[in-house]
Structure 1
Amino acid sequence: MELVLDPAGKADPRSRDTVGRQLRWSLVSGEFRPGEKIKLRDLAAQFGVSVTPVREALAQLVAAGALEQTPQKSIRVPALSLPLYDELRRLRLVLEPDLAMRAVSGISDEEIRDLEALSESLLAREALTSSLYRVGVARFHFSLYAAARQPCTLRVVEGLWLQSGPYLSHLFPEYIGKSPSPGLRMDICDALRRRDAVAVRDILDQDLRSAMAYLITIIEKLIPQTS
């Protein structure tokens, strides 16, 4: 199944939509950091495209609130206020465990095997770069949520990740060494095999809360105390 965020697919790799998917993955997986300025020409060179599809994709992300334009017309990743981060956190804790629970009834054996393979690859966290690990974590979550077959809710969740994802970079490397998430992801796969929807929901909730509890102690020092 092609995910909302999936950079793969049949689209022209030079198109605005393809560039946009690649940029969204970069945001949700923490490749861009809060406050970072986005350099149009560097991205065009990275993606092997002209500046036009990059400019168009960035404009879409600005319109969606995932990026912001400064008075000097440059584009950067927003630094969230504490109240806004808390709102994003609360919404994610409502929507994501529910999507995980709803995935149980319709997820295929093949999709479960894919999640298991991804979970196993993430167990070797010390051998992975921060970037590979963060992308893998995001792909696990969105693969699970996509199995719920709830496209409207999934798009809302994507929007929440687009805004909160840049702060994932602050989980590494300190949190990763002691995070329970690798084991919890395997537990989710086991619960999917048993078709235990409540267990999937509760384990996913535990995983989210663990990461968010650690992250909030870090970003309280980084996020401006404004509304």
Structure 2
Amino acid sequence: MISGGYHPGEKIKLRPLAEELNTSVTPVREALLQLVTAGTLEHSLQKSIRVPEANWHVYKEVRELRILIESRAAAYAAARIPESAIEQMEALTEQLDTKSPADLSLHRERLVEFHFELYRHAGKPVSLKLIESLWLQSGPYLSFLIPEYLPLSKSPSLRVKICSALRRRDGMAVAEAIETDLRNALGYLLERFT
């Protein structure tokens, strides 16, 4: 859900998902029902579970909350993140810099990994849970963002700036780069689809 593997309005099929996760249907159903309770997924009239339809008013609110919380978490992380995590983020940046990734699903996963590698080191567990919840709500919109936005994106250079600012322990620069990245990418969706 977080990495945009499902599109808004898409029905989630239990058996294929259980097979993909190498588990039975019961734990998958229970996990999906928890996501329904959290408002990330919804029951359709046919008693199936699906991703909610695109709602751009809700998306705008999620976008603003993501910008506020993620930039703040990034600033906190700058003082705490270990060198090994910065190296991991630099390696992810190299992988993400490909303008036309062959595997879009893997590209989305790496993008999520890059951001959460940073946010985990903020030392703010409540913020991290909020960020995860907001990503779950905005994840389906990533399917609109990638691959269309990639050729237009300035994100690769922003990720380089983020890593560079982390090495300098410059929390303000990290926060500004995260805010710019989110405003550009999430703003593109609003311009494109509203």
Instruction: For structure 2, list consecutive stretches of 5 or more residues without a partner in the other structure.
Output: none
Match of 1:116?
90
Q: Report how many aligned residue pairs link the two structures.
A: 194
Q: CA deviation at 1:172?
A: 2.3
What is the distance in 1 between the residues matched to 2:141 and 2:115?
16
Matched, 1:39 2:30: no
Match of 1:185?
159
TM-score (norm 2): 0.96
Aligned partners of 1:170 and 1:218 also within 8 Å: no
Match of 1:194?
168
Q: CA deviation at 1:79?
A: 1.5
Match of 1:176 among 150, 173, 181: 150
Query: Could you say what the CA RMSD is over the residues aligned between the two structures, in angstroms?
Result: 1.1
Match of 1:208?
182
Q: CA deviation at 1:46?
A: 1.7
Give the structure with the higher percent helix: 2
- State percent identity of aligned pairs: 50
What is the distance in 1 between the residues matched to 2:32 and 2:147?
29
Match of 2:55?
81
Q: CA deviation at 1:212?
A: 1.2
Matched, 1:159 2:133: yes
- Correspondence 1:75-154 to 2 at 5 A: 75-154=49-128
Match of 2:36?
62
Instruction: For structure 1, list consecutive stretches of 5 or more residues without a partner in the other structure.
Output: 1-26, 221-227
Greater RCO (Cα-Cα under 8 Å, separation 6 or more): 2
What is the distance in 2 between the residues matched to 1:114 and 1:173?
24
Aligned partners of 2:161 and 2:177 also within 8 Å: yes
Aligned partners of 2:2 and 2:136 also within 8 Å: yes
AA at the equivalent of 1:142: F
What is the distance in 1 between the residues matched to 2:193 and 2:123?
33
TM-score (norm 1): 0.82
